[in-house]
Amino acid sequence: MKIVGLIPAAGKGERLRPLTDTTPKPLIKIRGKPLIQYAIEHLRSMGITEIVVALHYKKEEIKEFLDSHDFDASLYYCYPDKLLGLAYTVCSASDFISGTFVTHLADNIFTENCKYALEEHIKSGAEATLLVERGDPEGRYESIRLDGNRITDIIEKANISYGYRGTGIYIFEPLIFEYCANVKRGERGELELQDAIKMMILDGRKILGILLRGTRIEITTVKNIYKAKLYLEAMETKK
């Protein structure tokens, strides 16, 4: 079975300004390696050899970097014409994807191979699977309610906590494109991927939540960059 990877790398990275005024967020380096390279290498470790990258902000710089390196994978590019939210960005890749695909946000580094989530998605026949972690949404993450391993509710940028939140890895069947196309703009004026997932839940679709193993390192602020460097250096020292 061919699995495709999708890396949304279109945004401006506003919370990392002024760094992102000159360097697109996916090219910000952690220990000498750009964030998008971490995402590509993680997808490769999951056995994925075809990867679609969605580009918009400073797209030429990101594409130039990717085209100048050999990641042992076939890279394809889609170009959402607007920054209208993750649902819009995911939809922009629909022409390249006809089967199961793993959406991997470009600003998350994972310390352990997450192939187990993909394997469970395929084995269970789920229509969407989210890699989740325990924690409160903190007004920044989606809040996720689980019943066993089934997701029964999801709220983006929530102020209420169900005890679980997303990690930036979403595994979908192409059905998600139909739901993304029907999403309405939310309070932030964006087309939220979480709203598409919630519509799937309300329609009785099989949506799984798989608990993260290992550690996720998210890069959204300059402080996160320094923390990530220290954490990865400590991990390397322990080896």
The domain segmentation of the chain, as residue ranges, is 4-238
Q: What is the pLDDT of residues 208-234, one digit of tens each?
A: 999 999 889 888 888 888 888 887 777
Residue 110 is predicted with a pLDDT of 92
- Distances in Å between the alpha carbon of 22 and those of 19, 47, 133, 195? 6, 33, 33, 32
From the candidate CATH numbers 3.30.930.10, 3.90.550.10, 3.40.30.10, 3.40.50.300, the one assigned to the domain spanning 4-238: 3.90.550.10
- DSSP H stretches of helix in 47-187: 59-67, 86-91, 115-124, 175-181
Partners of 110 in the β-ladder: 216
How far is Cα 142 from Cα 162, in angstroms, rounded to an integer? 10
Q: Note the Cα 36 to chain centre separation in Å.
A: 11
Q: What is the pLDDT of residues 46-86, one digit of tens each?
A: 999 999 999 999 999 999 999 999 999 999 999 999 888 89
Query: What predicted TM-score, i.e. pTM, was given to this entire model?
Result: 0.92
How far is Cα 119 from Cα 189, in angstroms, rounded to an integer? 35
Question: Does position 118 have pLDDT exceeding 90, yes or no?
Answer: yes
Q: What is the pLDDT of residues 85-104, one digit of tens each?
A: 899 999 999 999 999 999 99
Residue 80 preceded by cis peptide, ω within 30: no
- Distances in Å between the alpha carbon of 31 and those of 110, 207, 228? 15, 36, 9
How far is Cα 42 from Cα 94, in angstroms, rounded to an integer? 22
How far is Cα 119 from Cα 63, in angstroms, rounded to an integer? 30
- Distances in Å between the alpha carbon of 118 and those of 48, 99, 200, 208? 11, 13, 19, 11
Q: What's the farthest any 2 CA atoms get from each other in the chain?
A: 48
List the helix and strand counts (H, then E) for the chain: 8, 13
